[in-house]
């Protein structure tokens, strides 16, 4: 009887350790993939005119802009919320290569705005791992 209880406790212990281990490594993988996605977005360069505000799903908030680039290509961009709120359809956007900023031109002025939000920890990681990226 006591042996069965010990076996159950051992199995429960192994399952708990497995869950924590899996959680830890999945977070590492997700963080690495997120960094890769952010680095790829910061590395891009494009120029275009905002033609539409879009949502990735039908009921969600409009968090993406559709740009018509100089090469007649339609691309979607998703800047941080504070930048998103200041851009209007018809504005021109210029994204410099390897910079975490976009320059937004309207009929009156141009303004440099942050493109992707990076926490202080992520900024530090990017500065150490990708010194060619301009993030501040």
Instruction: For residue range 38-57, list pLDDT tens digits in order.
Output: 888 888 888 999 998 877 76
Question: Residue 85: CB partners within 8 Å, gap ≥ 6?
Answer: none
- For tokens 């976009």, name the residue: 102
Dist. CA 126–CA 103, nearest whole Å: 22
Helix ranges, the chain (H):
2-43, 81-84, 120-129
Alpha-carbon radius of gyration of the chain:
22
**Global pTM?**
0.65
pLDDT at 3: 67
Q: How many domains does the chain have?
A: 1
- Residue 54 lies in domain: 1-136
Residue 60 pLDDT > 70: no
Q: Which residues pair with 92 in a beta bridge?
A: 49, 105
């Amino acid at each position: 009887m006591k042996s069965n209880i010990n076996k159950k406790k051992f199995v429960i212990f192994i399952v708990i350790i497995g869950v924590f281990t899996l959680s830890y490594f999945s977070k590492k993988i997700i963080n690495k993939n997120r960094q890769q996605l952010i680095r790829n977005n910061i590395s891009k360069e494009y120029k275009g005119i905002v033609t539409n505000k879009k949502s990735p799903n039908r009921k969600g908030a409009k968090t993406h802009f559709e740009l018509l680039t100089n090469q007649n290509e339609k691309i979607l961009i998703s800047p941080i919320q504070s930048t998103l709120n200041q851009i209007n359809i018809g504005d021109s956007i210029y994204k410099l290569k390897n910079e975490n900023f976009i320059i937004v031109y309207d009929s009156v002025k141009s303004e440099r705005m942050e493109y992707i939000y990076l926490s202080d920890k992520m900024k530090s990681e990017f500065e150490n791992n990708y010194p060619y990226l301009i993030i501040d």
